[in-house]
Amino acid sequence: MSVRWRQTLLLIGPVLRIVPWVPVAAAVLVSALALLPAVADAQAPASQVWGLRIAAVVLGAAASFAMVDPMALLSVTPTPRWLRQWLRVTVALVPAAAVWCCLYAAAASSAAPQRLPLGDLVAEAAVCALAGVVGAAVAARGGHSLTTAVAGPAAQGGLMAATLFLPASYSAWPLPGAAQWETAHDWWWAALVVLVVALVAANGEVWPWRVRRAGAGG
């Protein structure tokens, strides 16, 4: 087994302990409540799709609080930063994704006559959740307190504010079967790519550039 794998296995336990599980549990509760109208009253139009969207946002908001390392300035570790940060992403997002999939299954079974396109809804949900995680990951490069992670929900709020109030014909949130569904989801997929690239960049090592340059010069 390579050193990396051994490090990873050793780190899983501590990372599991540092993820703030109470917000995650609260988010699971809120997202289940958001889907309640869809399951209880299948007649309510659009409640399945909107329930799933809200669930993704709330789950992502909770997951973003796992991204900040309060001890980052002090921790001199043998593991690279990217490994620690990606472990945080994985540990926070895997349960969120699992919960979302359960909610999707519940929504899809209640929306019998309506079709819920899984692939496109996954793209939407991934962008909604990752917007928070990426926001927190970027902020965590410089900030190390709990309030640093508020950048995650703030990024999600920015995403909502920028897209929710567009005129109906340019809406980023069409319902399945709407004319602009395809176009809107091309944008969702593009946003997903952008967010993944941003997450890769944000989870990289925070190089002390000045020190390095001074060292190179000297």
Query: Would you count residue 23 as binding other proteins (CB under 8 A)?
Result: yes
CB neighbourhood size of 128 (10 A): 25
* 55 closest CA partner among 155, 128, 162: 128
Give the range of 2-10, 28-36, 95-103, 178-186 binding other proteins by CB under 8 A. Answer: 28-36
3-class state of residue 81 by DSSP = helix
Least distance to other proteins, CB of residue 161, Å: 6
Give the range of 40-48, 86-94, 118-126, 178-186 binding other proteins by CB under 8 A. Answer: 40-48
- Candidate residues 8, 15, 52, 58; the one interacting with other proteins per rule CB under 8 A: 58
Which lies closer to other proteins via its Cβ, residue 2 or residue 147? 147
Query: Would you count residue 143 as binding other proteins (CB under 8 A)?
Result: no
Alpha helices in the chain (DSSP H): 3-18, 21-34, 36-40, 47-63, 81-110, 118-140, 151-164, 181-202, 209-217
Which lies closer to other proteins via its Cβ, residue 49 or residue 126? 49
CB-based contacts of 48: which residues, under 8 Å, 6+ apart?
35, 38, 42, 107, 108, 110, 111, 114, 116
Least distance to other proteins, CB of residue 212, Å: 30
Query: Would you count residue 41 as binding other proteins (CB under 8 A)?
Result: yes
- Candidate residues 10, 12, 16, 46; the one interacting with other proteins per rule CB under 8 A: 46
Query: Would you count residue 47 as binding other proteins (CB under 8 A)?
Result: yes
Least distance to other proteins, CB of residue 5, Å: 32
* CA–CA separation, 150 and 154 (whole Å): 6
- Site size for other proteins (CB under 8 A): 35
Gyration radius (Cα) of the chain, Å: 19
Which lies closer to other proteins via its Cβ, residue 8 or residue 149? 149
CA dist list (Å): 4 to 69, 102, 211: 20, 32, 27
* CA–CA separation, 65 and 200 (whole Å): 18
Query: Would you count residue 110 as binding other proteins (CB under 8 A)?
Result: no
* CA–CA separation, 199 and 94 (whole Å): 16
* 143 closest CA partner among 79, 200, 198, 64: 64
Least distance to other proteins, CB of residue 46, Å: 6
Enumerate binding residues for other proteins (CB under 8 A).
Answer: 20, 22-23, 26-27, 30, 33-34, 37, 41, 44-47, 50-51, 54, 57-58, 61-62, 65, 145-147, 149-150, 152-154, 156-157, 160-161, 165
